[in-house]
Chain A
């Protein structure tokens, strides 16, 4: 018998595309080996034993065989399908966002259990969160840190001076927050609202158990999305298709006269973030 190298792996399906007659090529984020690409044969047949376990954003246990170019999925078993993500369009859109960011900000075959644990925890959080956008912001801030792009939020990104809580700016190209003296130096400095700044620091330094309890006003949610969005686009040098989808959901909801995500959140609950 030929020596077939089989490897057990736990993975989340980040993206996939159809290949050949009934196959799919998957982009997986595995706990053991980081991001990798694998082919799942026959999974588009309706009676495939694997297909249900290899849906997008499913956490699964896999047996992978080394193929000539791609790994081959030989067995698959669901660990968590994050069912509620699939029954709510806004949550689905945010799950796309987490997967797209993971795919873009990580390199192939670069083991990073921290990223895997963050991704699975936040997919789980998305299934229950009252405020899916907060899950997305926490994920962004933490993933940026794990990927080596941690934005500077405690010292000025240019002159390293300790930052006060108010009166700062944020520069995507500078790599973080700027003190009032440096705010005018890069051309891309954005207004940094004091509340949004405190929330960013809080997300960067606290666990999800604390961060998930924050309640933000629509204004602060919007400010945070603009700040992290600008920073991520600066790093990736392109826009995120998942952000475009979220925006199109919102504008479609507006033009159809539907209520978008419930904007009933009260004013921001004050947060105290300590320098780490």
Chain B
């Protein structure tokens, strides 16, 4: 369909249309937008693209995306190595880092158990976590997978796997309750029940 266009533009359109949520029309629009961009900006985009294929590694310890292994968090001596927070995705690490509340280390599973999508425990970095529990001086494991069925199933599986090698380790799950700006009237029963169970003392 792109025969009247230079081959390079056609290739760009084809590559864009591989991305999730982008059809052929959107792909063409993006390609033409780039063509009209100042060349310096387009080059910056291509540099950024090259950067993710060449400069990115998985940290051998926490499996987060990083430019070096160990990643800056794992390499930081000021971090508490006795605390490990288990998350589904690298973006979750970023979200937790923004709170400035947490000073421990992480473990990124790269997904959650989801049988319908054929993602099983073996597809996640659970074995790697069990190995860390075996060799590292971990006091507490914080399960910070998403508060969804998939996240809960993953947390339960991780708990079982870790318990099998260490029965004394403290394992905690992120509290579940009402979100900022939320509305009790619209809260679902699961959330409200847990918020009630986990209520905290005032003053």
Contacts and interface: CB of A to CB of B under 8 A. Distances in A.
A1 interface: no
A256 B149 contact: no
Does more than half of chain A's interface fall in helix, strand or loop, or is it mixed?
helix
Interface string A40-80: 00000011011111011100000000000000000000100
B153 A92 contact: yes
Given A47-B180, A52-B188, A89 B157 contact: yes
A258 B188 contact: no
A258 B190 contact: no
Interface size of B as a range = 20 to 34
A12 interface: no
A51 B122 CA distance: 28
Contacts of A244: 115, 118, 120
Contacts of B161: 252, 256
A81 B118 contact: no
Interface string B14-26: 0000000100000
Interface in B89-132: 113, 115-118, 120-122
Given A20-B21, A47-B179, A248-B120, A55 B149 contact: yes
Interface string B165-190: 00000000000000111110011111
Contact of B149 (A46, A57, A241): A57
A234 interface: no
Interface size of A as a range = 35 or more
B182 A242 contact: no
Interface string A67-106: 0000000000010010100111100110010011000000
B148 interface: yes
Contacts of B179: 46-47
B191 interface: yes
B62 to A, nearest CB: 22
B164 A257 contact: yes
A81 B189 contact: yes
Contact of A256 (B115, B164, B188): B164
A17 B183 CA distance: 25
Nearest to A240: B115
Interface in A235-276: 241-242, 244-245, 248-249, 252-253, 256-258
B140 interface: no
Contacts of A51: 188
A24 to B, nearest CB: 10
Nearest to B126: A252
